[in-house]
Each structure stands twice: as C-alpha cells, then as structure tokens.
Amino acid sequence: VAELIDLTLDDQRPEPPPADDVCEISVDSDETAAPPSPLPPQSAELSQIDTLRAALSPAKARLAQLTADEAQLVKLAWRGPRGEILAHIPAARIHLSRSDLRRLQRTSWLNDEVINAYLALINTRSAAGRSEASPRKAPRVYCFNTFFYTRLTQGQKGEYDYAGVARWTRRAKVDVVAYDLICVPVNLNNYHWVLAVVDMRMRRFVYLDSMHGGDAADVLGTLRRWLADEVRAKHGPGRLDDMGLDNWPDEHNVGIPRQSDGGSCGVFSTLFAEALSRKRRRSAGHSSKRTKICDFGQKDIQLLRKRMLIELLLGRLPDLT
C-alpha cells in the first residue's frame, strides 16, 4: 500500500489520528486517469428520427392509418444498430434501445422496459389532465410498473409481502384513495401478461386477460389484501372500515376484445390501461356490465404496435380532449 498523500500545510496539520482509524488509499503516481470513452457516432437513421420527431405529434385518431412521415419513423426505428438508444422516458428512468423497440414488431412479446415506459407515459398524461381547468374530467389514473406485483408476491417462500412494497406509494407520492383507477400489470408465470385494476370510484376489482382466462392465480384476491393493508397503514383502520372492501365485487374480462395471436398479451394489457385512462369519469353505482373498455380488436394490433412505437419515440401520448 502506498503512503498517504497529505496536502495539508505543516502549520495547519492537526494531530494524527490513532493508527486504527487511518484509512489508507493506494495511489500509483505514474498513471493518470484514462479519458472518458467517446460517445458512439450517431447513426444516419437516428439523425432522421430526430428530424421527424421534431415535426410530429401523437395522433389522436389512433386507429387511422399511418401518415407517410409516421411510416418512415417506424421504418427508421426498426432499421439500424440494435443497441442504439432511440428514446428516453424520464418518468420511468428508462432508455429504450432499438432492440427494445423491435419487440413492437409483428407478434413479439413485450419486455418490462417497453411496458413500463409506456405506463409511465399514461401516468404523465393523467397527472397533466387532472388540473382544475381540464373540462374533460379525465379519470385519475396511476399505473404501477411490472415489478410491483412481482415484489408483492415474493416474500418468504413466495408468499404475500406487503412490507416489500409498503414504501412504493410513498416514494411515488401516490395516495391510492385519491385516485379513480389503480392499474397493475401482472406477469403470470413468466409467460402471459394480464392487467388488474382497482377501480376506486366504482368500488370493484377488475381482471383483464386478453385470452379471456380466469383468475386462477387469485390476482384480485391479492390486490384486495394489498389495498386493505395500504389504506390501513396510510389512513388508519377507520378509513378502511368505511370503504367496506369485503363488498367490492370482482369483475373478469368485461368489455375487452379477445387476443388471437401468440405474443401480443403485453400489447393488449398495456393498451387496456391506456384506454381506461381516456374514459370519462363515471359516478359510483354506474353499471359497467355492457360498457366496452376499448374500441380496438385483434385486427388493429399491428397498427397499434406502430402507434405505441411512435408515442414512445415522441415521449408522449395524445392529449386528453
């Protein structure tokens, strides 16, 4: 170990500490710090993407065919170096590479990064649309990321563990009782995505599976237990009693299309959350048995995959109007 480098002047030097408290740092005076690695050169595709980004806005007519500029943006996003970073979503602290965004091609399975980035865009738009001046009265929506439910169910021996997520809402500055909808993406056994929704305004738990399967994993039961623990911890047992959670019904796959391809469950689940975030707020007690959640189906998924890609590249969703 090299000797300590001491830059203190003799007349400013304090008494030396005891030997046991000395922290020694090894310094090789013959070497200088290496300069930072240069950034990789920007590809021609990314330069063109930046030009199109500056000219485009998210389309409000989401089922309309792509314009020429939108189609060109999609082509450029899928062509080029796989590892090149094409989008940054600050709200999710996620950088999306071309490899990530290529998962929006054909019937590819979405990864956590793409889903979480898109859910963050929903949260950002929902927060912006909740201003007093907003005439539309959009629902107050908060989407957890894909790791929330996994952590909630990964206690000892894979059991329910509220303590593992107790600080998540505090860190996000989210008070669940102040929201209309809490959306929770769930990865079932690492092979299928579904969306679970805690509908605070309608007082119900909703399970949305694009394959129209049943809730065999009791996702809604787990979220009912989580909501009880969350309200009790943050608002006290009195508020929990007033909510009467035991009387909130479960609802399964009402008002959603059925998936018929083999890899778009993540797309469907994410788009269910987006569609819910656009619906006008309803009063408690309103019947939803015949209400369609979304206006798209399997035939629209290839187009909507491209719409999702464009929105991620632009870093925003269409405004709520």
Question: Distance between CA 77 and CA 25 in Å, rounded?
Answer: 47
Measured in Å, how far apart are the chain's first and last C-alpha atoms? Answer: 67
Catalytic-residue membership of 265: yes
Q: What's the sign of the alpha-carbon dihedral 156, 160, 165, 166?
A: negative
Q: Are 253 and 212 in contact (CB under 8 A)?
A: yes
Helix (H, G, I), strand (E, B) or coil at 92: helix
Helix (H, G, I), strand (E, B) or coil at 314: helix
Question: Distance between CA 317 and CA 253 in Å, rounded?
Answer: 25
- Runs of H (alpha helix) within the chain: 44-55, 68-78, 98-101, 112-128, 146-152, 168-172, 219-235, 237-243, 265-278, 301-314
Question: Distance between CA 82 and CA 101 in Å, rounded?
Answer: 9
Residue 130, Ramachandran bin (φ over 0: left; ψ between -120 and 50: alpha; else beta)? alpha
Catalytic-residue membership of 30: no
Q: Exactly one of 192, 235, 250, 300 is catalytic; which is it?
A: 192
Phi–psi pair at 310, nearest 5 degrees: -60, -45
Catalytic-residue membership of 209: yes
Helix (H, G, I), strand (E, B) or coil at 113: helix
Q: Exactly one of 143, 209, 215, 294 is catalytic; which is it?
A: 209
Token couple for 110: 């979405």
Q: Are 88 and 315 in contact (CB under 8 A)?
A: yes
Strands 250-252 and 204-208: parallel
How distant, in Å, are the alpha carbons of 104, 192, 206, 262, 273 from that of 259?
A: 16, 12, 18, 8, 16
- Positions annotated as catalytic residues are 192, 209, 265
